[in-house]
Each structure stands twice: as C-alpha cells, then as structure tokens.
C-alpha cells in the first residue's frame, strides 16, 4: 500500500511539473444553460442541455511561464466536449413540450439528424490564475465555426468549476428560422439571431 501511495505522489508531481494529461468532466454536475428570445426580448425562453462526455487537457506550469503560479498543479491547456442535443429542456414554464419539440426539429437543431454538438478548445490563454481567454471550435448541425470567450476557474479543494458566458449568432450555423435577416418576416414573429449560453463544467483534479 505504501509503495502505491509513493508511486501516485510521484506521478502527480511529474504530471504537475512537466507532463500532460486529460481529466474527464463530471457530466452529472456540468451543464449548459441557454436563453433565446424574440427580436425585442418581449418573449424570452430559457433552459438547459447536458454534456454527453467531455475531457480537460492539462499541462504543467512550465508551459505557462507568464502566469503567476500559486501551486505546482497542472493548468488547463484545452478540452473536448460532446453535447447531447436530445437532452434539451425548457425551464421557464412556458410551452415546454411544444417548444422543445420545435427546437429539436429541422427549423432549429434537427436533432434526429444531428444528435450531438461539439465544443473543442483550441487555445486557453491565462490572464491570471483564475481567468482565461479561450478560443474554441463550436460544431452545431455539422457546421464548425470559431468562437471566443472568457472562462473563470473556481476551486474548492480538488473540485474545479469552469464557468463562461458567450453569445452566438445562430445563423452562422445554418439556423435561420424566423431570422431577423429574412425578408418578409412579420415583426412580432422575428426571433433574435442571438442565443446566449452559460456553460458550467465541473471536474475533479486527482492530484
């Protein structure tokens, strides 16, 4: 038993100082919150969608020489996340089943044909020990586009929470139903092209 503990400590120390690795996220505690509205925000809807899987790429502090490091733990270098589009929920209490059914059909996310979305972090630049500038590729309906956002890091013991908020223009991913850019749409029927996301990713650092 003592040998196993010594071996684990050695692995953790080497990983923190020099190595790279991946850590799976807690899909039960991680969530994406979404919000959409009509053009003038008179009628807003919001809800959640769950992660199917996800992993965080880690790198040692030696890879982040410009960041003030308060401990010898590895830092986030990237990540790959798969979103279960069949898990879309509407939580504002209005038109729940009808709204979710519409979001899943061809007017919006065409979930039968595209059951998952993906977010791949290509670059994470630390602003300080608790905040990053993130560049990522977001794939929806088989269309991949770059997105940028800030991400904060919160820690309680070995549990970490990554939080970010960003807005996308849905038309970039081919979702143009009742778009404000469509000629002839009635004003009261126009849906804002903006979809707001709040992303919460939870994982446990083993070392």
pLDDT of residue 59: 85
**Is residue 109, in this structure, part of any structural domain at all?**
yes
What total number of domains does the chain contain? 1
pLDDT of residue 206: 72
pLDDT tens digit sequence for 82-129: 999 999 999 988 778 899 999 999 999 999 999 999 999 999 999 988
How many degrees, rounded to 5, is the angle at CA 108 between CA 183 and CA 135? Answer: 100
**Is residue 22, in this structure, part of any structural domain at all?**
yes
**Is residue 106, in this structure, part of any structural domain at all?**
yes
Q: What is the 3-state secondary structure (H, E, C) of 64-132?
A: CCCCCCCCCCCEEEEEEEEEEEEEEEECCCCCHHHHHHHHHCCCCCCCCCCCEEEEEEEEEEEEECCEE
**Is residue 142, in this structure, part of any structural domain at all?**
yes
pTM, two decimals, is: 0.82
CATH of the domain at 114: 2.40.128.110
**Is residue 160, in this structure, part of any structural domain at all?**
yes
**Pairwise CA distance, residues 3 & 1, whole Å:** 5
Torsion angles phi and psi, residue 172, rounded to 5: -65, -25
**Is residue 194, in this structure, part of any structural domain at all?**
no
**Pairwise CA distance, residues 9 & 19, whole Å:** 14
**Is residue 193, in this structure, part of any structural domain at all?**
no
pLDDT tens digit sequence for 150-172: 999 999 988 999 999 999 999 99
**Is residue 186, in this structure, part of any structural domain at all?**
no
Domain of 70?
2-33+45-168+199-204
């Amino acid at each position: 038993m003592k040998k196993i503990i010594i071996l684990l400590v050695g692995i953790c120390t080497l990983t923190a100082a020099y190595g790279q690795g991946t850590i799976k996220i807690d899909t039960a505690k991680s969530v994406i919150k979404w919000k959409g509205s009509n053009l003038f925000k008179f009628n807003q809807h919001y809800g959640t969608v769950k992660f199917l899987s996800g992993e965080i790429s880690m790198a040692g502090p030696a890879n982040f020489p410009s960041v003030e490091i308060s401990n010898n733990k590895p830092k986030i270098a990237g990540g790959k996340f798969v979103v279960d589009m069949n898990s879309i929920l509407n939580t504002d209490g209005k038109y729940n089943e009808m709204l979710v059914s519409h979001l899943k059909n061809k007017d919006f996310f065409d979930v039968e044909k595209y059951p998952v979305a993906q977010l791949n972090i290509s670059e994470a630049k630390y602003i300080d020990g608790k905040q990053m500038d993130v560049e990522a590729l977001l794939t929806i309906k088989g269309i991949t586009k770059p997105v940028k956002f800030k991400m904060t890091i919160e820690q309680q013991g070995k549990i970490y929470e990554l939080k970010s908020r960003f807005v996308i223009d849905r038309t970039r991913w081919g979702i143009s139903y009742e778009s404000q850019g469509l000629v002839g749409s009635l004003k009261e029927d126009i849906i804002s092209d903006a979809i707001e996301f709040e992303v919460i990713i939870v994982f446990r650092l083993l070392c």
